[in-house]
Amino acid sequence: MSKPVDFAVIGRGMMGSACARYLAENGASVALIGPDEPADRITHSGPFGSHHDQGRITRRLAHDADWARFSSRSIDRYVDLETRSGLEIFTASGGMMAGPRAGPGSDFTQSFLRVADALDIPHEHHNDTTLPGRFPEFTFPPGTEAAWEASGGTINPRALRDAESLLASKASAEIIPQAVTALRQNRLHLADGTTLAAGHIVMATGAYAHTDDLFPARPEMRVYARTVAFAEVDETEAARLAQMPSLIFIPEGLAYDLYLLPPIRYPDGKLYLKIGGEDESPLLTNRSDITTWFQGDGNAQVGETLLTHLRTLMPDLAIQSTHTGSCAVSFTTTGYPYIDRLSDGLTLLTGGNGAGAKCCDELGRLGAMVARGERIQAEGYETDFRAVLA
């Protein structure tokens, strides 16, 4: 049985691993608890994670100032994380947001342009006159406005999670690759039948925070089943797209945004672009829903729709093969992550809202402050990230 710890962080995902690093590097005794990524999704009974992928978009640009602050502060620390962990996390391919100047979706466009100016984020402002020459790989609809930033691009969520977890263990945190099955006061029950006592518990279990009954109060969140589509390209095509930025955009006729990542090499050695984004998708309301969804390959029809949008945006793209994948996103009632000390013994850190990977380092830093009972009101945010409980 492990020795009692000051802090037990449940959830060795994006936010939990960063939080454990900040707690351990601050000198506390810490246990970071959560299973490894499954070797075989189909037979794995969970829990899964929304970080089991090779690519996530990162950008300072955002439709909301606090989200831009989360990401900017995290992006500023990627080099330090890479240097100290020896892991490659960030690819500075540039990041872009694009949308209609007028009509449905134009509020999205106005919001990211407004935030870019308000927070003085260095960016190029483009429109349908300048876009074709600057980004010939894309065919945007008439009336498009866009912002491009050099400091954006993609991160490898597996590597970022590993870097945070590795640096936490370098600071003496204990890594326990298991699921927590029950909580009784300050004692955690682990899947192997052992228990661990902790002075304070941080709940960072992603989508499962809403579905699991590990603790009395459940955060109010909508957990959506998401499908992504992958388009394989060969080395020549990837070289042609070497300057392609990551992109968040609103296609013609849609009022919600899609996201697109440039070619990234996956563990199978192949290069894939990835596209995603849905307005409505099925809600996952319990653990078995989530498990079943993650065991599958997403919704084939949604995949086809996403690939049609990709072919419209990039008509010259030479696609070798396509496939789909599944994941889950957790939207909070506030639209911000919940970073809240619910009692002397418990802090909630969850609610990525489809955007929490790039900025997990800052969310983890704030989570560690809150778990230590420190105030975050002076950290320069407009919101207090209080949780809404069901």
Ligand X SMILES: Cc1cc2nc3c(=O)[nH]c(=O)nc-3n(C[C@H](O)[C@H](O)[C@H](O)COP(=O)(O)OP(=O)(O)OC[C@H]3O[C@@H](n4cnc5c(N)ncnc54)[C@H](O)[C@@H]3O)c2cc1C
Residues that bind ligand X (CB under 6 A): 10-16, 33-35, 47-51, 56-57, 179-180, 204-206, 208, 212, 214, 226, 228, 259, 276, 327-329, 350, 352, 354-358
Q: Compute the least distance from the CB of residue 351 to ligand X, in Å.
A: 7
How do 195-203 and 5-10 pair as beta strands? parallel
Which CB atom, from 127 or from 322, has the smaller least distance to ligand X?
322
Give the closest residue to 224 by CA, choosing from 118, 329, 130. 329
d(CA 34, CA 179): 5
Which CB atom, from 212 or from 232, has the smaller least distance to ligand X?
212
Helix (H, G, I), strand (E, B) or coil at 376: coil
Q: Compute the least distance from the CB of residue 328 to ligand X, in Å.
A: 6
d(CA 203, CA 345): 11
Q: Compute the least distance from the CB of residue 215 to ligand X, in Å.
A: 10
Strand order of the sheet with strand 90-91?
56-58, 153-155, 90-91
Which CB atom, from 279 or from 378, has the smaller least distance to ligand X?
279
126 phi and psi, to 5 degrees? Answer: -125, 160
How do 195-203 and 346-350 pair as beta strands? parallel
Q: Compute the least distance from the CB of residue 58 to ligand X, in Å.
A: 6
**CB 189 within 8 Å of CB 33:** no
Which CB atom, from 314 or from 327, has the smaller least distance to ligand X?
327
Which CB atom, from 60 or from 103, has the smaller least distance to ligand X?
60
In SS3 terms, 134-164 reads as HCCCCCCCCCEEEEEECCCEEECHHHHHHHH
d(CA 28, CA 338): 23
Q: Compute the least distance from the CB of residue 379 to ligand X, in Å.
A: 19
Which CB atom, from 50 or from 93, has the smaller least distance to ligand X?
50
Q: Compute the least distance from the CB of residue 130 to ligand X, in Å.
A: 25
d(CA 22, CA 15): 11
d(CA 304, CA 295): 20
Cis amide linkage into residue 47, ω under 30° from 0: yes
Which CB atom, from 271 or from 329, has the smaller least distance to ligand X?
329
Q: Compute the least distance from the CB of residue 129 to ligand X, in Å.
A: 28
